[in-house]
Structure formats: structure tokens, C-alpha cells
Structure 1
Amino acid sequence: MSTSSSSFPSSASSPPSSSSSSPSSVWLVAYMKLKFFTRIRRFLRSKAPHKRNRAASDHHAAEKPRIIDAVVDDDEEEKKDTDKSMVLQKSVKRLHFGTWEEKEMAAEQIQRLARDDVSAKKLIAELGVIPVLVSMVAADESGRRRAAIKALLELANGTYTNKALIVDAGLYTKLPKNIEEIDESTRQEFAELISSLCSLANTQSCPSSYEIISFLISILESKKSSIETKEVSLGALYKLSIVLENAGALISNGVVQTLLMLSLEKQLSEKALAILGHLVVTLMGKKAMEENQMVPERLIEIFTWEEKSKCQELSVYILMILAHQSSTQRAKMARAGIVPVLVKVSLLGSPLAQKRATKLLQWFKDERQAKMGPHSGPQTGRISIGSPCNPREAEEGKKMMKNLVKQSLYKNLEMITQRAASPSSSNLKSFAISTSSKSLPY
């Protein structure tokens, strides 16, 4: 490995463009270079293979061609490792001390190294490249910014430590303030990087911040954002909504209104409804949906999507929580025409949607029966056919017929709900998040 170590420039090499500064800064840069090259040299030495010596010492092997082939393979592997090490050395050096153009080229090279060699991700992060890449995210030049985002995305994939380092380097403070100024490809790469980092949402390393949520919502509300970019952004919000402590930050940023608008887009509806399902079990989320003008009409409209059974299940789930122990919400849903739609879903929907729709129908039936009260038949005497009747008797007869019609309707509704409740349906996990949903059976 003497050839590799000799290729390193000495600490006395010409300083970067900051050489015109004070002597103390020159010595500081020289010290940083020396420390950096020392770490690179240590890495190269640790990578030096000794397989050739082991193969040559095995002179008792019976088949000499195999030994020769092993030596050749080891030589090729050693050459590849040396080449990668030299490329990594040059890339990290350019990223730390090069010009902006050299930094961009170095970021692209680091992206390829991290993608091709998973084991190198940790080493690249240890060489201090993440803070430099994060600083490049705020660059005005789009090519430089995209190169940094792609490199950070490759470094973050599959490594918890690198994700935490990216967050600690202040990536969220470098997010663009105006989403409309970013082109679509960069916007999607930003969303993918944030979605990858949001997997830390259930840990203390990644607290929910205003910058992340505001940036994702601006992507969802932008007319220039593609469906694919919105899907990635919804995935990031889904990861954040899993943690109930993030509900306040999400709701205060107006995410409920945005999600309800996206829920009618069939490609995005399932993810949008899943996030609403996480939020509705919180007090703030339930209140925000109760006060929204699009509820319950928009959710009832989703009931008619027979080809989207998952969307039906999620929309019924949300309305069950809103209707539970709330006569006001049930009256609002009844005025919106929910009962006929629920009857249809209870007969033709998926097994889970049938169970939820049947239970919700039962609440409406019980409430109507409670308003009607016990009925033991007409209390007046029977009127014989052809007997004269005064206006008072005629009015009582009309009331009696109305009551009989109501009883018949309720009896038919009860038969429909009993028929729809199939015992073969799969059980669902009971709610155990908020007090308003703990008693719900589905």
C-alpha cells in the first residue's frame, strides 16, 4: 500500500482560495487538511487486502491452477478496492476544499459510491461530508442542489445513523420557502428525502417541525406537483401522523382541509383517508373534521366507490368515530342522505365495510326508535267500515297509518341489517387510542 499512501498530497500543498486571509486561518485550513488526509490514509490501510499472501502460502495445495486463479482474482479485487478508495479520497477532498463546480461533481460521485457499496455509507458519513451536502441544499443553482439531494438520499437509505446526522445538520432549516420556484424533478427528490427521514418520526431524534409539515402541505396544494410527488408527500405525512403527538402540528397547519380535498382523487384517496383516520382519534382532529364543511358529504360520496373497497372502509371508519356518542353529527349525516348509502354498503361492500356500515345503521335505527318511543297499537276503538267519521277521527286514523308505515320500515331495515351481518367476516383490531373510540367494535 506504499503506492496508495504516497499519492496523498502533503499538508504543505497550496492552500485553497482562502489563502489570502490571515495566517491563523491558513494554519487552520492546513490542520484540517492534515487531519482529513490522516483519516483517509487510515481507511486505505485498513482496506489493504492480504489475500494474495494467504494464497501464496498455501503451497501444499494439490491443484496449482486454482491457486493461480485465486491470486488473479485477489489482484483484481485489490485493484478495485484501491480504485474506489482513490475515487473516494478525491471526491471527499473536492467536496471539502474544491470550488462549487468541483463540489457538484464530488456530490455526484459520492452518490454513485453510496449506491454501489452499501458498506461505504458509514465511512463516507464519518469523513464529514453530510454537513457540506446539507449546506449545498440551500444553493441557488438547481444542478448543485439536486446533486446534494441525491447524494443525501443515497446516504440516508437503510442507515439510521446517517438519517440522524442529516437531521442534526439542519436540513429542515434549508428547505425552500417558495415551492413554486422549484422544478418538478427537484420537488419530487425533496419529497423522497423527507419521506426517508420521516421514518425517524417515532423516535426523539426527529421531532415534528413546522418547516417539514408546511413544506409537504405546500407540495400537496401546488397545482404544478405531479401525482407521484403528491403520493410521496402523503407517505411522509402518514409517517408523521402515526405519532399522536404530531397531530397538533399537522392540524394547525391546515392539513385536514388539504386531505379532504385530495380524498376525491382516486389515486391519492387511500393515503389521504388513512392520515385522516390517524387524526380523527385525537380531540383536535375530531373537532377539526366536525367543523369542516366538506364533512360528511365528501366521505359519503366515497361510499359509492365500489372498486375502491379500502377507501370505503376508511371513510366508514372516520364517520363511525364522528357519529359515536354525538347525536348532532348523526343528525348531520342523516340530512346528508347517509342511510340509503349505508344500506347499500352493508349489502354489497367488502366484509369489513359491511360490518362497519351495519353497526352505523344500527345506531341510526336505535336513535329513531328512541325518538318514536314504545308503540302498542292504536288506543282508540276500531272504526267499522262504512261508519261515519268526523274530522277528528280521520286525523287519528292518519296518525295511526303513519305509525304503521314507520313500524314497517323499521322492521324491514332491521331484517336488512341482520342479513348483512355475516359471521364469516374477519375481526378487526378494536380502537385503543382515544376515549371516544374505545367502545367501537369495528
Structure 2
Amino acid sequence: MAKVQRGVGGSVVLNRHGSRLWPALRSSCIGLRLIDTMRCGRTSVVSSQEQLQRSKKKKEKKEMSDLKKRNEGSERLSELLKWEVESLGDVDGEVKKKMEVFSAFQRVVKVLQFGEGKAKKEAAIDVRRLAKEDAEARVALAMLGAIPPLVSMIDCEDEEFHVASLYALLNLAIGNDVNKAAIVKTGAVHKMLALLKTLTSQAVSDAMVANFLGLTALDSNKAIIGSSGAVPFLVSVLVNPNTTLQAEQDALRALYNLSICASNAAPLLETPLVPTLLSLLGDMATSERSLAILANLSSTPDGRRAISKGPNAFTLLVDALTWADSPNCQESACYIIMMLAHKSWADRQALNSRVFESEKGKQIEAGGSAVAPVSAPICGGGGEGWGGGDMSEERMAVKEMVQLSLQSNMRRIVMRANLPQEFAPSEHFKTVTATSSSKSLPF
């Protein structure tokens, strides 16, 4: 027979042998509960469908909560501004004006967040207009929550929505690193790349290129965009015959921004970027940026290999050294050649066999009289490459000026590139430049 023993913690049920009955009772209760559940045909495990529904509701609730917080934040700011206006009375008209502008921003953002159809598109156009030349407007519109709805508009099927949202985002990012980071964090890059699968509009393509240019200007975005799959799209813009001049320039500048980040070398070299850039040399509108990208790539072993294997790479680079009217192209070309020659014996041999040959300095005869060569020789003896025979005092003076100019340029390049002093002009270089000219052009 069970008996009850009282203690400090209350009553304890004991059996006739004096041991506790709780373990047995607990086991029997669990067993009864299990039997009851089986009889009723129920289970305590929630179905996967119910879990998905709950998860969806929870996500919607969180989104509404975040949106409410943003609205509450903007309303609080609006109330503070209103209080400031009321406290100042009619003293400060500028504050009242700012209050009115901020209220207009609020209305535009609310349409972006809750509007539909044409009204939402018009709101995106308003954001583009307001943020175009106003740095304070970019800050205020982003703070009010304009970026997320604009990014979500990229998923729309209407081309006009794409253009309106992309240019609005572009203007919000101008000169504002916080907005640049927020646009990428919100998922704009992946949405733009997803849009490429159905992209047929040149206007949308140009807007995407312009956005990539703006977003890659921020260092923290470079690696993210470089690994996202944007590089093949930007390279395709360069080879597309329908590409506008502005889009081509934007694509080159975006690729230059990406090439600054060392981790982007691999995705850049996986595309036909190097041959494409070499093919653009000779066009002064694209040569400077193309050589700058190649210079960045030449700092990596894979980049140097890709450049040295490019079609007519050494000839094109040496020709660029003679563009007297483009010192930036000369500097980049010289840097690339130095990197190739310094790091690879094979490249030094290739330079020697392809460039430093006597054929390079053959003269062009016109009307029985000798004239200066189209492409000046890199090395030679006596008066070769300068019309042959004895040179006049004028030619000697020009030759000396060219020699001094090349030596001075080489010193500046070495200093800017922070290269070892072994690259500094030597006596051998002075001998080489003694018969060089900087007047020839590659076309």
C-alpha cells in the first residue's frame, strides 16, 4: 500500500517498500498519452505545407514591419521638421521650404512602395529627376526607402519600368557610396543579370552598363560585381556592333574599375577581353582606357601570358610608344612592355624578334626622294630612319629632342610605377633612343 511522506519540498508518493512512484507514474502517463494520440489519429508533427505557410506569413509580417519602421522613421523626421518650423514661426523661410521638399519626397517614395502600374513608373521617373543633380535629395530619398522598391521594379516585364528604375538607381548612386553599397546589397546586380536572359532593348542594355559603371566605382563592390557574372556582359558590349559610343565608353570604364581589384583577374581573363582590347588599339577614343586595363592585368602572371599570346600584341604595344600626342597611352604601353620583358625570358625574345628588326626602319621612297619612315625604327646605326646620308642641323636637333624626351618619359614611368631602378634609362637605352622617333602613328 502506498503511503505519503511529507518533506521540505512537499508530499512525496512512496510505495509499500518506501521507494518513489514518480518514475513509474511518469512512464505510464507518457504511454497513455501516446495511446490517446494514436486513437484519435493525430500527430504532433506539423505538416511541411503548414510550415511553409507559417514561414511565408512570418516573412510577410517581417516585411510589413520593416516597411512600417521606415515609414515611422520618415514620419518622425517629418514631425521634427514640422516642430522646428512651428518653433521658428515665420523667421526662417528656408526651413519651411525644406519641409515642403521633404514632404514631396515622402509622397514620391510612398507611391513607389504602395503604388501600382503607371503611377509607380512615374514615381521612379520623379526619383530620377530629383536625384539627378541634388546630393541632398539622394540622401533623403534613400533614407525614406526608395531603393528597395526601385530594385524590385527590375523584375517587372515592362521595358519602360526597367529603364525608369535603372536610371533612378543610377542617379541615386552618383557620388554617394552609401547608396552604391545599399543598391548592391538589395540585390540589384543579380536582378540585372537575370534580366539579360530576356533582354532585347538597347535602351535597357545601356542603362545596365551605366549602373555597372557607377557601382564598380566603390571598392567594396568591385569583388562582388566581378564574381557575379557581369564581366561577360560588359565584354559583349564592346564587340556588339549596335553598341552606342557612350555605352562602349561606360563598359570600358567599368571594366577598368574591375581590373583594379586583383581578385577579378580570373573572371576578366576567362572572357575574350584581352584580344578585344588589343583590337581596339588604334582608335584613339578607346586606346587609352584599353591600355590602362591591360596594364592592370599585366601585374598578374596569367594576365601577362594572355597579353603575350594576343594577336600582334608586341607590335601594337611598341607602336603605341610612338603616339606623341597621347602621353597616357605611351606610359601604359611602356609599363606593359616592361612587365612582359622583366618577368619572362620568352617575351624578351619575342620582343627582340618581332620588333627590334631592321625591317622596322625601312624607308619609304616617294618621287625619288627619301622621306621619314611611317613607323620609326627602334634601333639602327648612323642616319638610318632619318632619311639616310648626312643629317642637317635641323634633323640633328629634332633627333636630340626626341632622345631627351624618351629618356625623360622613361624616368617618370619608372617613378610612377615604383619599379626597380634597373628599369631606369641606362647608357644602352640612350644608344637605342638615339635613332628613335616619336612622330610615327599606327594608322
TM range (shorter): 0.5 to 0.7
Letter in 2 for 1:440: F
* The one of 416, 421, 430 aligned to 2:414: 430
| Residue 240 of structure 2 is aligned to residue 228 of structure 1 | no
Residue-pair matches, total: 343
- Counterpart CA distance in 2 for 1:340 and 1:309 is 26
Single out whichever of 203-212 and 81-90 deviates more from structure 2.
203-212
* The one of 155, 159, 162 aligned to 1:145: 162
Name the structure 2 match of 1:397: none
- Counterpart CA distance in 2 for 1:331 and 1:25 is 64
Name the structure 1 match of 2:149: 132
**1:183 deviation in Å?**
3.5
Q: What is the SS of the residue equivalent to 1:88? A: helix
Single out whichever of 101-110 and 28-37 deviates more from structure 2.
28-37
**1:296 deviation in Å?**
1.8
Cα distance change on mapping 1:341 and 1:201 into 2, 3 Å:
farther
**1:167 deviation in Å?**
0.9
* The one of 123, 135, 159 aligned to 2:176: 159
Structure 2, unaligned runs of 5 or more: 1-55, 363-375, 381-387, 392-397, 426-443
Name the structure 2 match of 1:287: 305
- Counterpart CA distance in 1 for 2:67 and 2:401 is 78
Instruction: State the TM-score, normalizing by the size of structure 1.
Output: 0.65
Q: What is the SS of the residue equivalent to 1:111? A: helix
- Counterpart CA distance in 1 for 2:211 and 2:59 is 35
**1:152 deviation in Å?**
0.8
Cα distance change on mapping 1:319 and 1:117 into 2, 3 Å:
closer
**1:237 deviation in Å?**
1.2
Alignment of 1:53-92 (within 5 A): 53-54=87-88, 71=90, 74-75=92-93, 77-92=94-109
Single out whichever of 231-240 and 171-180 deviates more from structure 2.
171-180
Cα distance change on mapping 1:110 and 1:49 into 2, 3 Å:
farther
* The one of 75, 81, 84 aligned to 1:41: 75
Q: Percent identity?
A: 27
Structure 1, unaligned runs of 5 or more: 1-21, 56-70, 345-357, 366-408
Alpha-carbon contact 1:234-1:271 (below 8 Å) kept: yes
Name the structure 2 match of 1:102: 119
Alpha-carbon contact 1:277-1:314 (below 8 Å) kept: yes
Q: Deviations over 1:311-347 (max 9, x none)?
A: 2333233223223364533443344344569889xxx
Alpha-carbon contact 1:431-1:439 (below 8 Å) kept: no
Larger gyration radius, structure 1 or structure 2: 2
**1:433 deviation in Å?**
8.0
Instruction: State the TM-score, normalizing by the size of structure 2.
Output: 0.65
**1:120 deviation in Å?**
3.6
- Counterpart CA distance in 1 for 2:189 and 2:314 is 35
- Counterpart CA distance in 2 for 1:229 and 1:200 is 20
- Counterpart CA distance in 1 for 2:262 and 2:317 is 23
- Counterpart CA distance in 2 for 1:188 and 1:91 is 25
Alignment of 1:20-419 (within 5 A): 34-48=68-82, 50=84, 53-54=87-88, 71=90, 74-75=92-93, 77-115=94-132, 117-176=134-193, 178=196, 181-201=199-219, 206=224, 208-303=226-321, 305-324=323-342, 326-339=344-357
Cα distance change on mapping 1:242 and 1:418 into 2, 3 Å:
same
- Counterpart CA distance in 1 for 2:63 and 2:348 is 70
**1:147 deviation in Å?**
1.0
Q: Deviations over 1:144-203 (max 9, x none)?
A: 111111111121112211111111112221224649944444333322221111122367
Alpha-carbon contact 2:189-2:228 (below 8 Å) kept: no
Q: What is the SS of the residue equivalent to 1:119? A: helix
Q: Deviations over 1:19-45 (max 9, x none)?
A: xxx999997787566544422321211
- Counterpart CA distance in 1 for 2:308 and 2:60 is 64
Alpha-carbon contact 2:111-2:120 (below 8 Å) kept: yes
Letter in 2 for 1:257: P
Alpha-carbon contact 1:164-1:206 (below 8 Å) kept: no
Q: What is the SS of the residue equivalent to 1:428? A: helix
Single out whichever of 109-118 and 259-268 deviates more from structure 2.
109-118
Q: What is the SS of the residue equivalent to 2:412? A: coil
Single out whichever of 241-250 and 423-432 deviates more from structure 2.
423-432
Cα distance change on mapping 1:264 and 1:137 into 2, 3 Å:
farther
